[in-house]
Amino acid sequence: MKIGHIELPNSLFVAPMAGVTDRPFRQLCKRLGAGYAVSEMVTSRRDLWTSLKTSRRADHEGESAPIAVQIAGTDAAMMAEAAAYNVDRGAQVIDINMGCPAKKVCNRWAGSALMQDEALALRIVDAVVAACAPRNVPVTLKMRTGWCQAERNALRIARAAESAGVAMVTVHGRTREQGYKGEAEYETVAAVKAALRIPVVANGDIDSPAKAREVLQLTGADAIMVGRAAQGRPWIFREIAHFLATGELLPAPEVQQAKRWLIEHLGDHYGLYGEFAGVRSARKHIGWAVRALPGGEDFRSRMNLIESCEAQVRAVNDWFDQLAHTHRLLPAANEPFIEKTA
Ligand SMILES: Cc1cc2nc3c(=O)[nH]c(=O)nc-3n(C[C@H](O)[C@H](O)[C@H](O)COP(=O)(O)O)c2cc1C
């Protein structure tokens, strides 16, 4: 699997998720089997580049290659500038966001809203490719199947983007109008894959190894991208990798192993955000990790009152240790939790 000249270790991708796929989470997913992870989107608004939020997003210290940065905006020149800015800060791939349902930049809807204005979408693609090509940085495009059910123009935009020099296209199998409702469809992804020579990535509702195989078969895609199902289950990537390679399911991780991954993640997370913001923003990751486990909801409510890193780590440690007395393994993906037997 290659993006332009960049070779990837495998074709299992972490979806960009604002507020989730920060550097610690991307690194964790890569350690647990993902071959590629795109950063949270960075705005094309220059006045925000020095804000704490954007500068954290543009900080790739210690991140394993390739570093892929997603940019969002509505103005071609600003998007080109944002691409160059991020390449100067270490981005090796620039991804254009035409997939995110709701983001206003400069009072105009960016992300998937761009699919409604194909001429503007292509001006942005042209400008970003022109900024990146001299630096040998591939540009990729992430989009939905279209603006609305009646206007599923992913294929047209994908073809034009390929002609403009885009190196890879990701398609989330929903329209902008759908938001996250309903189920993802894969016919449009398959049509895009059949029409393009560059790699095509299938995205939407992949939440288990079996679903990953099904989507690959249905679409013929070169890679798959997983978002929400990796929240609290970052090891889904190695589960998928193992299943695709062998046809067999990996046993679910041990409770103690999941605890160690979470504690390591928390350490990296506090390192990036510091104590005050770190403890608060870590709560969602802990909540996702425990939500399917017995007593998880109670723990989540109690944990949300904790205000220091040390106390948060201690609470997580104690809670998982307690759970390990009665359960050796976590539930397998989409399976009920199974009591430990003697
Ligand atoms: C919390 C959250 C934040 C997201 N942020 C972005 C984003 O910044 N850029 C983007 O292209 N897509 C974004 N998405 C969409 C995901 O990348 C992905 O396309 C979508 O969640 C469908 O994949 P899934 O079913 O595997 O979750 C976001 C999704 C979620 C749930």
Locate the ligand 1 atom nearest the alpha carbon of residue 206 and give its number. 26
Residue bearing the CA closest to ligand 1, atom 2: 17
Does residue 163 have a pLDDT over 90? Answer: yes
Residue 96 belongs to a domain = yes
Residue 322 belongs to a domain = yes
- The answer to whether residues 231 and 263 belong to one domain is no
Residue 337 belongs to a domain = no
DSSP string, 113-142: GGGG-HHHHHHHHHHHHHHHGGGT--EEEE
**Average pLDDT rounded to a whole number, residues 84-88:** 93
Q: What pLDDT, on a 0 to 100 scale, did the predictor assign at position 235? A: 96
69: Cα within 13 Å, side-chain hemisphere: 28
Locate the ligand 1 atom nearest the alpha carbon of residue 95 and give its number. 11
Q: What pLDDT, on a 0 to 100 scale, did the predictor assign at position 41? A: 82
Helices (H) and strands (E) in the chain, counts: 11, 13
Q: If you measure from the C-alpha of residue 100 to the centroid of ligand 1, how many angstroms do you get, rounded to a whole number?
A: 6
Q: What pLDDT, on a 0 to 100 scale, did the predictor assign at position 104? A: 60
Q: If you measure from the C-alpha of residue 214 to the centroid of ligand 1, how many angstroms do you get, rounded to a whole number?
A: 20
Q: Is the distance from the beta carbon of residue 22 to the nearest atom of ligand 1 less than 6 Å?
A: no
Q: Which of 246, 263, 298 is the last residue of a domain?
A: 246
pTM above 0.85?
yes
Distance CA 297, CA 2 (A): 41
- The answer to whether residues 46 and 184 belong to one domain is yes
Residue 84 belongs to a domain = yes
Q: What is the number of domains present in the chain?
A: 2
- Using pLDDT thresholds of 50, 70 and 90, give the confidence band for residue 342: very low
pLDDT in tens, 150-160: 889 999 999 99
Q: What pLDDT, on a 0 to 100 scale, did the predictor assign at position 341? A: 41
The CATH number linked to 53 is 3.20.20.70
Locate the ligand 1 atom nearest the alpha carbon of residue 230 and give its number. 26
Peptide bond into 66 cis (omega under 30): yes
- The answer to whether residues 53 and 111 belong to one domain is yes
The DSSP secondary-structure symbol of 182 reads: S
**Average pLDDT rounded to a whole number, residues 194-210:** 97
- Using pLDDT thresholds of 50, 70 and 90, give the confidence band for residue 198: very high
Output the average pLDDT for the chain.
92
Does residue 300 have a pLDDT over 50? Answer: yes
CB atoms within 10 A of CB 207: 16
Does residue 119 have a pLDDT over 80? Answer: yes
- The answer to whether residues 309 and 202 belong to one domain is no
From 172, 205, 236, the mutation candidate for ligand 1 (largest count of ligand atoms within 8 A of CB) is 172
Residue 332 belongs to a domain = no
Does residue 139 have a pLDDT over 70? Answer: yes
Q: Is the distance from the beta carbon of residue 142 to the nearest atom of ligand 1 less than 6 Å?
A: yes
With the CA atoms of 39, 44, 46 and 52 taken in that order, what torsion angle do they form, in degrees rounded to the nearest 10?
-30
Q: What pLDDT, on a 0 to 100 scale, did the predictor assign at position 267? A: 98
Residue 334 belongs to a domain = no
What is the pairing mode between strands 2-3 and 6-7? antiparallel
Instruction: Extract the tokens encoding 93.
Output: 């791939």
Residue with the larger pLDDT of the pair 185 and 43: 185
Q: Is the distance from the beta carbon of residue 278 to the nearest atom of ligand 1 less than 6 Å?
A: no
Q: What pLDDT, on a 0 to 100 scale, did the predictor assign at position 113? A: 80
Instruction: Extract the tokens encoding 291.
Output: 């939500």
Does residue 334 have a pLDDT over 70? Answer: no
- Using pLDDT thresholds of 50, 70 and 90, give the confidence band for residue 35: very high
Residue 336 belongs to a domain = no
Distance CA 321, CA 258 (A): 11
Does residue 42 have a pLDDT over 90? Answer: no
- The answer to whether residues 180 and 264 belong to one domain is no
Distance CA 27, CA 230 (A): 13
pLDDT in tens, 226-261: 999 999 999 999 999 999 999 999 999 999 999 999
- Does residue 201 contact residue 190 with C-beta atoms inside 8 Å? no
- The answer to whether residues 211 and 309 belong to one domain is no
Residue with the larger pLDDT of the pair 253 and 333: 253
Q: Which of 210, 226, 246 is the last residue of a domain?
A: 246
Q: What is the C-alpha R_g of the chain?
A: 20
Residue 340 belongs to a domain = no
- Does residue 76 contact residue 107 with C-beta atoms inside 8 Å? no
- Using pLDDT thresholds of 50, 70 and 90, give the confidence band for residue 339: very low
- The answer to whether residues 295 and 223 belong to one domain is no
Locate the ligand 1 atom nearest the alpha carbon of residue 70 and give its number. 9
Q: What pLDDT, on a 0 to 100 scale, did the predictor assign at position 331? A: 80
Q: What pLDDT, on a 0 to 100 scale, did the predictor assign at position 338? A: 45
Q: If you measure from the C-alpha of residue 17 to the centroid of ligand 1, how many angstroms do you get, rounded to a whole number?
A: 5
Q: Which residues neighbour 232 within 8 Å (Cβ) at sequence distance 6 or greater? A: 285, 287, 288, 289, 290, 291, 292
**By residue range, what is the domain housing residue 265?**
255-326
The residues assigned a catalytic role are 100
Instruction: Extract the tokens encoding 16.
Output: 């960009």
Does residue 37 have a pLDDT over 90? Answer: yes
**Average pLDDT rounded to a whole number, residues 203-207:** 96
Instruction: Extract the tokens encoding 195.
Output: 């029409």
At residue 139, φ and ψ (nearest 5 deg) are -110, 135
pLDDT in tens, 46-72: 888 788 888 788 778 888 899 999 999
- The answer to whether residues 176 and 37 belong to one domain is yes
SS3 79: helix
- The answer to whether residues 102 and 231 belong to one domain is yes
Q: Which of 220, 246, 272 is the last residue of a domain?
A: 246
Q: Where are the beta strands (DSSP E) in the chain?
A: 2-3, 6-7, 12-14, 36-37, 42-43, 68-72, 93-98, 104-105, 108-109, 139-146, 168-175, 200-203, 223-226
Distance CA 310, CA 292 (A): 24
- Does residue 222 contact residue 193 with C-beta atoms inside 8 Å? yes
- The answer to whether residues 92 and 181 belong to one domain is yes
Instruction: Extract the tokens encoding 117.
Output: 């204005």
Q: What pLDDT, on a 0 to 100 scale, did the predictor assign at position 279? A: 98
SS3 38: strand
Q: What pLDDT, on a 0 to 100 scale, did the predictor assign at position 246? A: 96
